[in-house]
Amino acid sequence: MQIVILPTADDVAEYGATLFIRQLHKNPHSVLGLATGSTPLALYRLLIIACQQKTVSFAKAKTFNLDEYLGLAADHPQSYRYFMQQHLFNAIDILPSNTAVPDGSAADPVAACKQYEQQIVDAGGIDLQLLGLGRNGHIGFNEPSSGLRSRTRIKTLTPATIADNARFFEQGEYQPHLSITMGIGTILDAGKVVLLATGTNKAKAVKAMIEGPLTAACPASALQLHQQAIVVLDEAAAAELTDIEFYRHIERENQALLKRLTRQ
Of residues 155, 133, 146, the one with CA closest to residue 209: 133
The average pLDDT across 47-63 equals: 98
Burial class (CB in 10 A: 0-12, 13-18, 19+), 140: buried
**pLDDT attached to residue 173:** 84
Question: Which segments within the chain are labelled E, that is strand?
Answer: 2-6, 31-34, 62-65, 67-69, 99-100, 128-131, 153-156, 178-181, 192-197, 229-234
Report the distance separating Cα 231 and Cα 247, nearest Å: 11
Report pLDDT digits (tens) over 23-36.
999 999 999 999 99
pLDDT band at residue 170 using 50, 70 and 90 as cut-offs: confident
Tell me: pLDDT of 259 over 90: no
| Domain harbouring 79, CATH code | 3.40.50.1360
Q: Of 209 and 174, which is predicted with more confidence?
A: 209
Show which residues are catalytic: 67, 136, 138, 143
**pLDDT attached to residue 56:** 98
Separation of CA 84 from chain center: 13
Tell me: pLDDT of 60 over 70: yes
Report pLDDT digits (tens) over 120-155.
999 999 999 999 999 999 999 999 999 999 999 999
**pLDDT attached to residue 260:** 82
Tell me: pLDDT of 262 over 80: no
Tell me: pLDDT of 211 over 90: yes
Nearby residues of 96 by Cβ (< 8 Å), 6 or more positions away: 89
**pLDDT attached to residue 96:** 97
Of residues 14, 65, 18, 13, the one with CA closest to residue 39: 13
Tell me: pLDDT of 264 over 70: no
pLDDT band at residue 62 using 50, 70 and 90 as cut-offs: very high
* Identity at 70, one-letter amino acid code: L
**pLDDT attached to residue 100:** 98
DSSP 65: E
* Domain count within the chain: 1
The average pLDDT across 72-90 equals: 96
The partner residues of 100 in beta bridges, in order of sequence, read 64
Least confident segment among 25-29, 197-201, 259-263: 259-263
Of residues 158, 240, 246, 243, the one with CA closest to residue 204: 240
Q: Is residue 87 helix, strand or coil? A: helix
For residue 178, what are the domain limits? 2-263
Terminal alpha carbon distance of the chain? 26
The average pLDDT across 194-210 equals: 98
**pLDDT attached to residue 11:** 97
